[in-house]
Chain A
Amino acid sequence: GNSVTQMEGPVTLSEEAFLTINCTYTATGYPSLFWYVQYPGEGLQLLLKATKADDKGSNKGFEATYRKETTSFHLEKGSVQVSDSAVYFCALSRDGATNKLIFGTGTLLAVQP
Chain B
Amino acid sequence: DAGITQSPRHKVTETGTPVTLRCHQTENHRYMYWYRQDPGHGLRLIHYSYGVKDTDKGEVSDGYSVSRSKTEDFLLTLESATSSQTSVYFCAISPGEETQYFGPGTRLLVL
Is the CB–CB distance between B98 and A103 below 8 Å? Answer: no
Residue of A nearest to B107 (CB): A41
- The DSSP consensus for interface residues of chain A is strand
Is the CB–CB distance between A96 and B98 below 8 Å? Answer: yes
Please name all residues of chain B whose beta carbon is closer than 8 Å to the beta carbon of A104 when the two chains form the complex.
42
Residue B56 lies at the interface, judged by CB distance under 8 Å to chain A: yes
Is the CB–CB distance between B45 and A106 below 8 Å? Answer: no
Interface size on A, residues (CB 8 A): 22
In the assembled complex, the Cα of A42 lies from the Cα of B103 at a distance in Å of 8
Interface size on B, residues (CB 8 A): 25
Looking at the complex, which of A10-18, A44-52, A62-70, A77-85 is the stretch in contact with chain B?
A: A44-52
Most chain B CB neighbours (cut-off 10 Å) among A99, A100, A103: A99
Residue B101 lies at the interface, judged by CB distance under 8 Å to chain A: yes
Which residue from A46, A96, A98, A105 sits with its C-beta under 8 Å from B99? A46
Residue of B nearest to A42 (CB): B104
Residue A32 lies at the interface, judged by CB distance under 8 Å to chain B: yes
Chain A residues with a Cβ under 8 A of chain B: 4, 32, 34, 36, 42-46, 49, 51, 89, 93, 96, 98-101, 103-106
Residue pairs across A and B with Cβ atoms less than 8 A apart, 26 shown, are A32-B98, A34-B98, A34-B99, A36-B102, A42-B105, A43-B105, A44-B90, A45-B102, A46-B100, A46-B101, A49-B99, A89-B42, A89-B43, A98-B56, A99-B31, A99-B94, A99-B96, A99-B98, A99-B100, A100-B45, A100-B48, A101-B43, A103-B42, A105-B41, A105-B42, A106-B42
